[in-house]
Amino acid sequence: MTYRLYNRTGSGGFVVEAALALADAPFELAVIESKPGTPLPDSFRDTNPWRQVPTLILPDGSIMTETSAILIHLAACFPDKKLAPTPGSIGHAAFLRWTIFANVNIYEAVLRRVYPNRYTTDPNATQATIDAANQRMGEALIVLENAITTGPFLLGETMCLADVYITMLYVWFKGGIDAPRLSALRDKVKQDTIIAPLWRRHFGDRG
């Protein structure tokens, strides 16, 4: 019963790798050697038609894509590891809300910034697309900053996968915002004994 994770260093698969490690789940890591911001090999289309990582092969051989969906699935598969609040609880509703919010509003903005050609056919609009994406990302991060009310984590005293996801996205932000709660959250996540070595391999001293 082994998972197989396709990823490339420094990409969004970091949070899926962290989730598998926190779950103590057996998995194989297949690192794709390509630079962030460049297309994956066309041969990868057979594994993921959208040619994106992370792509997770489940123990039965079926394929999962979409980072937020993978995180929600893994949290449900390992309830004893408390990767997310109990399904049906108010805490779980908040976990779903902010995980999907981060995916739709922040991760998507990252893609617009890194791959602006996907979002405009006007070569003169490339920089404007990048600038708008970064602005949108900052605005969404401030929403999360204001959502951290009981801290140090998003949902209170216990870290969940949404915290790891948000930390990764926050470190990717290229801009200046006043977000002391997100900065404190980032520091807590990076210091986790399981996450720390993964963070160093993917992001070095960033953040």
What confidence score (pLDDT) does residue 130 get?
Answer: 96
pLDDT exceeds cutoff 90 at 33:
no
Residue 135 is encoded by which pair of tokens?
Answer: 């602005």
Does residue 37 register a pLDDT over 90?
Answer: no
Task: State the Cα–Cα distance between residues 143 and 151, nearest whole angstrom.
Answer: 15
What domains can be seen in the chain, in order of their start residue?
3-81 (3.40.30.10), 90-192 (1.20.1050.10)
Q: What is the mean pLDDT of the chain?
A: 95
Q: What pLDDT is recorded for position 8?
A: 92
Say if residues 196 and 129 touch (Cβ distance below 8 Å). Answer: no
pLDDT tens-digit series, residues 103-134: 999 999 999 999 999 999 999 999 999 999 99
- Predicted local distance difference test score (pLDDT) of residue 38: 75
Q: Measured between alpha carbons, how far is 37 from 65 in angstroms, rounded to an integer?
A: 18
Distance CA 146, CA 177 (A): 12
Judge contact between 130 and 113, C-beta under 8 A.
yes
Distance CA 154, CA 164 (A): 10
Residue 64 pLDDT level (bands cut at 50, 70, 90):
very high
d(CA 87, CA 127): 42
> pLDDT at position 35, please?
73
Does pTM top 0.85 for this prediction?
Answer: yes
Q: State the average pLDDT over residues 133-146.
A: 97
